[in-house]
Amino acid sequence: MTIVRPYGDTTGDGMVQLSFTLPIPHDKRAEGAAVQLANRMGMDPALLVHAKAMGDGFTFFVVYGRVSHLVDTDKVQVVERDFPLLSAKEVNAVIKRRLRRRLNVVGACIGTDAHTVGIDAILNVKGVAGEKGLEYYRELSVTNMGAQVSVPELVEEARARKADAVLVSQVVTQRDAHLQNTRAMTAAFREAMPAGKRPLLIVGGPRFDELMAGELGVDRIFGRGTTPREVASYLVHALVGPSNHPAAAPERTEGQS
């Protein structure tokens, strides 16, 4: 059977729960408004089970009700990233097992860009959004060169550290500085090291188009909202080979409007 509906306590009852806040004081009209919203979201009947005033002009509601929508599991679209998302433990385990040494990462903000927010979010232990940065991964050896690093310095450091991967963050985009800096960086690495000896080149920043990797000569571009775990997973995927770990389920999104 591919057609399903939500399950409360009886097959086919279509029951769901919903909570939300409306920016209006709590009274009869507010409760009516909450039921109307639930109705418009497809809940019919909608049973308002809880309403509570919060501060001056807000009310919180909990609604239980039946939805008439059906879901066809055959028509669910799954968007897969082209590498599995691993936990820190899995990343460490794969590197240890396959590479048998620590994986060397060198990161920097190049050019005049002094915004280390991005590179620090990815590299510092502190991390971002509750995820620890790459420094936290035991099997990654991380060198964070900080801001305003020149391209020759970066190439030199990458060579000295035997970098497996170079991470460059670019936040400032005035006069396309991020694109020019990235091109200068990839050209320098191509000049300094033969193919096959070059580290994996990765850039990140809020204004990059993730599809421009080829054009800029980098192996991968990460855009806004990238987390350290995604970068670590990608490093493992690209440098150590695919993991066969079953827990690495891709993220799923339904075909929603």
Provide the mask over 4-23, with x wherever binding to another protein is found by CB under 8 A and - wherever it is not: ---------------xxx--
Site for another protein in 148-207 (CB under 8 A): none
> Would you say 7 or 20 has its CB closer to another protein?
20
Q: Does 130 bind another protein (CB under 8 A)?
A: yes
- Specify burial of residue 105 (Cβ count, 10 A radius: 0-12, 13-18, 19+): buried
Active site residue 126: yes
Mark residues 36-55: x for contact with another protein by CB under 8 A, - for none: ----------------x-xx
Neighbours of 89 (CB within 10 A): 11
- 67 vs 123, which CB is nearer to another protein? 123
Residue from 52, 89, 126, 162 carrying the catalytic annotation: 126
CB of 243 to another protein, least distance (A): 22
Question: Going by DSSP bridges, is the β-strand pair 103-109/165-169 parallel, antiparallel, or unpaired?
Answer: parallel
Tell me if residue 68 falls in helix, strand or coil.
coil
- Do the Cβ atoms of 221 and 232 come closer than 8 Å? no
Q: What are phi and psi of 31, to 5 degrees?
A: -65, -40
| Closer residue to another protein (CB): 21 or 73 | 21
> By the 8 A CB rule, do 213 and 219 touch?
yes
60 forms part of the interface with another protein (CB under 8 A)? yes
User: How many binding residues for another protein (CB under 8 A)?
Assistant: 24
Tokens coding 161? 């550290």
Q: Does 128 bind another protein (CB under 8 A)?
A: yes
Q: Which of 101, 138, 162, 224 binds another protein (CB under 8 A)?
A: 138
Which tokens is 205 given?
A: 């920043």
Q: How many helices (H) and strands (E) does the chain have?
A: 7, 10
Determine how β-strand 71-72 pairs with β-strand 3-4.
antiparallel
> Which residues of the chain form contacts with another protein (CB under 8 A)?
19-21, 52, 54-55, 58, 60, 116-117, 120-121, 124-126, 128-130, 132, 135-136, 138, 144, 146
